[in-house]
C-alpha cells in the first residue's frame, strides 16, 4: 500500500466524525522572565515543554498536532495570550498536512493577543494542501498599546514533489491584525483547485507555493526597509512593502523550503529592531 493510499484511506474512515482540538496558552512576565503561566488543551493539540535557549526573557514553545494531518470536518482552535512585557516565540515541528476531503471543510483558527510591551513571534512550518482538500484557515492578531508581532504563513498547493497539483478542493484563508481594537491590516484569500485564478499573473501565475510575512511595529525606518529589500530570494519571487502600520513581505514560487528560508532571513534582519535582540532560531528547526 502506498503512503498516498494509506492517507486517503485514513481520511475517508475518519471524516464522518472529524476531530475537534483546542489549545489555550498564556505567557506572563515574572521578575524579568517570560513563563508559560497557563496551558489548557482538549483533543489532539499539545505543547512540548517551554524552553529558554536565549535567556529568561524569551519563552520558546513548539505546538504539536499528534495526528500529523487534518481531514474534512476537523476543527482546530489555538488561543495565545502574551501578558504585559512577555516575549513568546512559537513554531511547529513540521508541515500541517490537510488531506483530501469527501466534501466537508476542515477549519483552523488561531487568535493571538498581546498586551502592552509584549512581543509574539509566530513562526510555523508550512501548510500543505493535498489535492482535494477543503480548508478554512483564520489567523487573528490583537495587539494592545506598543505590543509587537512578527510572523508568517507559507502555503503549498498539492504535493508537487510527487507531481500532484491542486486540481480540486478549496482554500479560504483570512489574516487580520488589530491594534487597540482598530483594524490595522486585513488579507483574505479565496482559491479553488483547478481554477483559472491559479494561473493568473495577478495572483499566483501558476506557482504552487505562496506565503505572507508580517511585522507589526512602528516605525519602520528607511534603512531597515532597504535592508529587507536587499534580502535575496533564492528562487521564485519575493517582495517587501511598507504599509502605515505593518511591513509585509510576499513569496510565490515552487518551493516551500525556499519561502521559509526567505522569510527567516527577513526575520533575522528585523528582529533586532523589533525585539532588541539578535535572532535565535527554534531548536526544532535543526532536528
Which residues make beta-bridge pairs with 247? 215, 242
Which residues make beta-bridge pairs with 149? 120, 216
Closest CA to 92 of 70, 61, 114: 61
The phi, psi pair for 168, rounded to 5°, reads -150, 165
Q: Which residues are within 8 A (CB) of 133 and not within 5 positions of it... i.e. 6 or more apart?
A: 98, 99, 100, 101, 106, 169, 170, 171
pTM over 0.95: no
pLDDT at 17: 60
What are the DSSP calls for 110-158, one per residue? EEEEE-TT-EEEEE---EEE-TT-EEEEEEEEEE-TT-EEEEEEEEEES
CB 208 within 8 A of CB 130: no
CB 267 within 8 A of CB 279: yes
Query: Which run of H or of E encompasses 267?
Result: helix 256-275
Split the chain (287 residues) into runs of 10 and give each run's mean pLDDT.
35 59 97 96 91 96 90 96 98 94 95 98 96 97 98 94 90 97 96 93 93 94 96 95 96 96 97 94 86
Backbone torsion region of residue 258, taken as left when φ is above 0, otherwise alpha when ψ lies between -120 and 50, otherwise beta = alpha
**Domain ranges within the chain, ordered by starting residue:** 3-205
pLDDT at 34: 98
Q: How many CB atoms lie within 10 A of CB 113?
A: 19
pLDDT at 14: 46
The CA distance from 65 to 42, in Å, is 12
What are the DSSP calls for 235-259, one per residue? SSEEEEEE-SS-EEEEEEES-HHHH
Amino acid at each position: 500500500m502506498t503512503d498516498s493510499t494509506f492517507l486517503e484511506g485514513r481520511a475517508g474512515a475518519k471524516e464522518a466524525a472529524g476531530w475537534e482540538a483546542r489549545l489555550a496558552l498564556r505567557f506572563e512576565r515574572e521578575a524579568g522572565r517570560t513563563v508559560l503561566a497557563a496551558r489548557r488543551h482538549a483533543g489532539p493539540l499539545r505543547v512540548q515543554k517551554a524552553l529558554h535557549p536565549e535567556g529568561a526573557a524569551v519563552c520558546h514553545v513548539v505546538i504539536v498536532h499528534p495526528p500529523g494531518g487534518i481531514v474534512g470536518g476537523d476543527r482546530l482552535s489555538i488561543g495565545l495570550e502574551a501578558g504585559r512585557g512577555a516575549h513568546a516565540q512559537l513554531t511547529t515541528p513540521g508541515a500541517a498536512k490537510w488531506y483530501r476531503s469527501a466534501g466537508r471543510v476542515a477549519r483552523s483558527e488561531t487568535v493571538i493577543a498581546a498586551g502592552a510591551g509584549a512581543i509574539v513571534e509566530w513562526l510555523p512550518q508550512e501548510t500543505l494542501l493535498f489535492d482535494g482538500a477543503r480548508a478554512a484557515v483564520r489567523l487573528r492578531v490583537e495587539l494592545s498599546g506598543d505590543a509587537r508581532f512578527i510572523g508568517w504563513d507559507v502555503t503549498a498547493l498539492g504535493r508537487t514533489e510527487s507531481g500532484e497539483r491542486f486540481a480540486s478542493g478549496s482554500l479560504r484563508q483570512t489574516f487580520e491584525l488589530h491594534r487597540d481594537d482598530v483594524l490595522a491590516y486585513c488579507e483574505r484569500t479565496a482559491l479553488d483547485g483547478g481554477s483559472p485564478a491559479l494561473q493568473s499573473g495577478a495572483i499566483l501565475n501558476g506557482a504552487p507555493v505562496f506565503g505572507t510575512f508580517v511585522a507589526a511595529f512602528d516605525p519602520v525606518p528607511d534603512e531597515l526597509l532597504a535592508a529587507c529589500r536587499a534580502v535575496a530570494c533564492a528562487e521564485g519571487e519575493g517582495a517587501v512593502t511598507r504599509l502605515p502600520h505593518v511591513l509585509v513581505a510576499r513569496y510565490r514560487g515552487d518551493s516551500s523550503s525556499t519561502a521559509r528560508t526567505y522569510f527567516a532571513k527577513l526575520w533575522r534582519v528585523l528582529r533586532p529592531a523589533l525585539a532588541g535582540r539578535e535572532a535565535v532560531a527554534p531548536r526544532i528547526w535543526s532536528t
